[in-house]
Amino acid sequence: KIVNSKAEEGRVMQLDENALLVLRERYLLKDEAGNLLETPDELFRRVASAISRGEDNDPEGRREEMNEAFYQMMANLEFLPNSPTLMNAGRPSGQLAACFVLPVEDSLDSIFESVKLTAKIHQTGGGTGFSFSRLRPKNDFVQSSRGVASGPVSFIRVFNCATEAVKQGGARRGANMGILRIDHPDIEEFVSVKRDPAELTNFNLSVAFTDDFMHAYEEDGEFPLINPRTKEAARTVKARKLLRLIAESAWASGEPGAIFLDAINRANPTPSLGEIEATNPCGEQPLLPYESCCLGSINLSRLVKDGEINWARLSELTHLGVRFLDNVIDVGTYPSGEIRDKTRGNRKVGLGIMGFAHVLIRLGIPYDSPDAARIGDKVMRFIERESKIASNRLAKKRGPFPNFRGSVWDGKNLLQRNATTTTIAPTGTLSLLAGTSSGIEPIFDIRYKRILLGGIEVEVEDPLWREIKDRADAEEKRRQLFRKAYEVPPLVHLNIQRTFQNSVDNAVSKTVNLPETATVDDILQIYLEAHRMGLKGMTVFRNKSRNYQILSCGTQQ
Ligand code: CDP
């Protein structure tokens, strides 16, 4: 009976079969025996009601009105907050953010303090990013034990095993980002470790590139690797040789990814609070140590009607989205006092979009055409501008973020409630729930297999393709418009990323998909181009470069 009524309700809410599966497996409240305790509609009611309580801190708060507006935009699948908000709002855990960065200092106390916080964050569905650059290199001196250090890679394994053990109650696998600066003496080991598919299966790794390194590459120079403990050069390497090694690893395994530290810090809204050294697991959210951030995504595909984007509704959703996410910061609970204080000090939020590829298909524009970038630019500029207006209005009523003085917004004389407002998330699960293409990615294929939640394999048929596949001109439309990720040239991927990055104050989740036949040199060129474009990071994935033989920490997954 429950299942039937769910399916019935799903049809009313335009949830498709996969959306219902995801909801059932992951989001809807269950009792101990696994019986569902809420319907999708009740889920959106629960979340809207919890988040609208944030209005109570606002002298002009409008709790009832916002409760209804938040509910409507979620139930219409026009806006969805990140998974932890859907799972935990109005429930005892109450931890609502998807993205965290934790510090890892060069001491056992600091390392294991972070391991503990990581476990608590994963338990609530959040993901964690770390810079391991401060750890002394392998075989370096250790005063207390008169022994030698194990180095960053071996400590990353500790975090990896802790993640394995926690497993997020089956709802969500713990995701981590491990970052090492390009000038760390253990960089070669770090960039090669994931060529073994059994290694660090709960981690994405990214190299933190500096402009100095990219300069040394261009000059074909030597590049010093610095011991972070002594601040002295341990040795030098040829920049070209090192970048080639990294490209070879990325060719073989899709890892490591890249972040560009100087680009990230040029956009750091609070430089007086220190440098940004790391991002969240999928790279779209640079954060200071102990900062967390909640993301939300507007389903742009819902806003296309008769070949037009509904700009008025997009404006409304942007204002509501920023307000929703700002409320999340006050309503949410935090894994530690430090995380709470740092998060509430800057009040970063990340509003973005999903469904971009579907918008293009609906408008009759191929993903790899200049018009696609033009639409992307127009949409994101609009959201960015409206989000700043929304944050400014909130600041006038609720006050600016506590670290506003000395921030870049202070310098620009623009009162803001939030140090950042925009981010493009991957929307891996959210897009399935919303029945649209993920983030700003092209469609993966018109039909593909996807492994959900540690094991359930679902066959996903592109929802737009399903709508038109029986039409006489379907095949022609497919050829013209349904451009698959691997068919889109690398430079087009990068150009779309740049287009959005230009109007996003955090970063952009984007993968450059490469055909199996791509070479190491192709990948090298992509690094250079990404840096030249001023991007904050870059991920490549060559088709079939990773297999799924995964064993780690003695546990079969
Ligand atoms: O669609 P959903 O809200 O589930 O997540 P996403 O947009 O694909 O990913 C956004 C962020 O959620 C990631 O960058 C991670 O910080 C976090 N995440 C995680 O912690 N664990 C996962 N299994 C997936 C995402």
The CB of 493 under 6 Å from ligand 1? The reply is: no
The CB of 204 under 6 Å from ligand 1? The reply is: no
How high is the pLDDT of residue 261? 98
Rounded to a whole number of angstroms, the distance between the first and last alpha carbons of the chain is: 34
Ligand 1 atom with the smallest distance to the CA of 284 is 14
Torsions phi, psi for 483 (to 5 deg): -70, 120
Polymer length of the chain: 557
Ligand 1 atom with the smallest distance to the CA of 82 is 3
3-state secondary structure 345-382: HHCCEEEEEECHHHHHHHHCCCCCCHHHHHHHHHHHHH
Considering only CA atoms, which residue is closest to atom 6 of ligand 1? Answer: 427
Contacts of 473 (CB under 8 A, 6+ apart): none
Question: Which residue type occupies 133?
Answer: S
Quote the ligand 1 centre to 98 CA distance (angstroms): 6
Question: How, if at all, do strands 540-542 and 512-514 pair?
Answer: parallel
The CB of 84 under 6 Å from ligand 1? The reply is: no
How high is the pLDDT of residue 550? 34
Spans of the chain below 70 pLDDT: 1-12, 168-171, 453-454, 547-557
Contact between 52 and 70 (Cβ < 8 Å): yes
Mutate which of 77, 176, 429, 539 to test ligand 1's pocket (most atoms within 8 Å of Cβ)? Answer: 429
The CB of 83 under 6 Å from ligand 1? The reply is: yes
Residues 76 and 232: their CA atoms lie apart, in Å, by: 57
Radius of gyration over every alpha carbon of the chain, rounded to an integer in angstroms: 23
Quote the ligand 1 centre to 457 CA distance (angstroms): 19
The CB of 428 under 6 Å from ligand 1? The reply is: yes
Quote the ligand 1 centre to 295 CA distance (angstroms): 9
Quote the ligand 1 centre to 526 CA distance (angstroms): 25
The CB of 439 under 6 Å from ligand 1? The reply is: no
Residues 414 and 42: their CA atoms lie apart, in Å, by: 39
DSSP string for 288-344: -TT-EEEEEEEEGGGGEETTEE-HHHHHHHHHHHHHHHHHHHHH---SSHHHHHHHH
The CB of 87 under 6 Å from ligand 1? The reply is: no
Contact between 149 and 102 (Cβ < 8 Å): no
Contact between 392 and 417 (Cβ < 8 Å): yes
Estimate to the nearest angstrom the gap between the alpha carbon of 5 and the chain centroid. 34
Residues 116 and 165: their CA atoms lie apart, in Å, by: 12
Ligand 1 atom with the smallest distance to the CA of 283 is 14
The CB of 499 under 6 Å from ligand 1? The reply is: no
The CB of 98 under 6 Å from ligand 1? The reply is: yes
Q: Indicate which residues carry an active-site annotation.
A: 280, 282, 284
Alpha-helical regions (H) of 172-219: 187-192, 211-218
Give the Å distances, CA to CA, from 335 to 178, 381, 507.
20, 34, 24
DSSP string for 105-172: -SSHHHHHHHHHHHHHHHHTT-EEEEE-TTSPPTT-EETTTTEE---HHHHHHHHHHHHHHHGGGGTS
Domain residue ranges in the chain = 99-279+550-556
Quote the ligand 1 centre to 75 CA distance (angstroms): 21
Contact between 361 and 481 (Cβ < 8 Å): yes
Before 40, cis peptide (omega within 30)? no
How high is the pLDDT of residue 501? 98
The CB of 429 under 6 Å from ligand 1? The reply is: yes
Residue 319 structure tokens:
């204002």
Top-tier CATH class for 99-279+550-556: alpha beta
Q: For residue 442, which of 480, 486, 479 has the smallest C-alpha distance?
A: 486
Q: For residue 506, which of 448, 423, 413 has the smallest C-alpha distance?
A: 423
Residue 531: HSE in the Cβ half-sphere, 13 Å Cα cutoff:
23
Ligand 1 atom with the smallest distance to the CA of 122 is 20
Within 10 A of 526 (CB to CB), how many other CB atoms are there? 23
The secondary structure of residue 85, as a DSSP letter, is: H
Q: For residue 548, which of 446, 459, 455 has the smallest C-alpha distance?
A: 455
ipTM above 0.95, yes or no: no
Q: CB burial class (10 A; 0-12, 13-18, 19+) of residue 469?
A: middle
Considering only CA atoms, which residue is closest to atom 14 of ligand 1? Answer: 282
Ligand 1 atom with the smallest distance to the CA of 285 is 14
Ligand 1 atom with the smallest distance to the CA of 430 is 1
Question: Which residue type occupies 54?
Answer: G
Considering only CA atoms, which residue is closest to atom 18 of ligand 1? Answer: 127
Residue 101 structure tokens:
């960065």
Quote the ligand 1 centre to 282 CA distance (angstroms): 7
Quote the ligand 1 centre to 201 CA distance (angstroms): 16
The CB of 99 under 6 Å from ligand 1? The reply is: yes
Q: For residue 279, which of 249, 297, 258, 253 has the smallest C-alpha distance?
A: 258
Is 524 strand, coil or helix?
Answer: helix
Q: For residue 292, which of 324, 333, 327 has the smallest C-alpha distance?
A: 333
Quote the ligand 1 centre to 147 CA distance (angstroms): 39
Quote the ligand 1 centre to 464 CA distance (angstroms): 24
Considering only CA atoms, which residue is closest to atom 19 of ligand 1? Answer: 127
Mutate which of 26, 82, 95 to test ligand 1's pocket (most atoms within 8 Å of Cβ)? Answer: 82
Torsions phi, psi for 169 (to 5 deg): 55, 25
Considering only CA atoms, which residue is closest to atom 22 of ligand 1? Answer: 175
Quote the ligand 1 centre to 127 CA distance (angstroms): 7
The CB of 282 under 6 Å from ligand 1? The reply is: yes
Mutate which of 79, 279, 282 to test ligand 1's pocket (most atoms within 8 Å of Cβ)? Answer: 282
Give the Å distances, CA to CA, from 494 to 95, 231, 544.
34, 35, 21
How high is the pLDDT of residue 454? 61
The CB of 425 under 6 Å from ligand 1? The reply is: yes
Contact between 289 and 440 (Cβ < 8 Å): no
C-alpha torsion sign, points 244, 250, 255, 259:
positive
Contacts of 423 (CB under 8 A, 6+ apart): 284, 285, 293, 295, 350, 351, 352, 504, 505, 506, 507, 508
Q: Write down the number of H helices and E strands in the chain.
A: 21, 23
Give the Å distances, CA to CA, from 513 to 207, 327, 548, 549.
19, 36, 18, 21
